[in-house]
Chain A
Amino acid sequence: QVQLVESGGDLVKPGGSLRLSCTASGFTFSDYYMSWIRQTPGKGLEWLSHISDGGSAIYYADSVKGRFTISRDNAKNSLYLQMNSLRVEDTAVFYCAKHIIGETAFDIWGQGTMVTVSP
């Protein structure tokens, strides 16, 4: 079935780095835009970044611009989020999500991976 599975979440110290992965199955990954979204108890759901189907168009929220890098490998049906200079306030559950073609809506979400940034 159509599925997204995130991995890579961990406990890391402030200033550290982490790379999240999202593996897709059940659909033609290379046809779809993809996004990363995070969720915290305090700030709720926050869209972070999205990447076009071919990877040529990329956008970031200001809160992560310059620190996070989104990428994809269509041959491996995989989406990535490289996170550098992590801050305590980056602590969250991180979701990858698939876009509906022609919409900015997310129709499929992964189960999420927890990132904790703590001294």
Chain B
Amino acid sequence: DTVVTQTPLSLSVTPGQSASISCKSTRSLLHSSGKTLLYWYLQKPGQPPQLLIYGVSNRFSGVPDRFSGSGSGTDFTLKISRVETDDVGIYYCMQGIQLPWTFGQGTRVEIK
């Protein structure tokens, strides 16, 4: 299976500051189609996960431009600029190139 590893596992951020989460995969997520099948989700307390980013860097509908994704191959980053209190929750990356599709362990973001 493709293992996806996130760091750090938890993050405490001052409102208005930035935060970054790393996601590393044990295999390249570049598909033969040219797409890179790496996604980011946010699970707010008491809610199901919600899609933030698809294809490494494409924000899903309604996602603020404070969220940005970058990376290629096996190394990826989610950056949250100007963190707000509503950004608290657990952030997951997920690989979609090889079955079984797998998620990272999650990064818990809290506000200082």
Contacts and interface: CB of A to CB of B under 8 A. Distances in A.
Interface string B7-37: 0000000000000000000000000000101
Given A103-B37, A106-B51, A107-B60, A47 B105 contact: no
A112 B41 CA distance: 16
* Binding site secondary structure of chain B: loop
A101 to B, nearest CB: 11
A105 B106 contact: no
A111 B48 contact: yes
B37 A104 contact: yes
A105 B103 contact: no
Chain A interface residue count: which class?
10 to 19
Interface string B50-94: 110011000010000000000000000000000000000000101
Most buried by B among A44, A105, A110, A112: A105
Contacts of B92: 44-45
Interface string A99-119: 010011111011110000000
A60 to B, nearest CB: 8
Nearest to B47: A111
Nearest to B40: A105
A73 interface: no
12 contacts: A44-B105, A45-B94, A45-B103, A47-B100, A103-B37, A103-B54, A103-B55, A105-B39, A106-B41, A106-B51, A107-B54, A109-B49
Interface of B: 35, 37, 39, 41, 47-51, 54-55, 60, 92, 94, 96-97, 99-103, 105-106
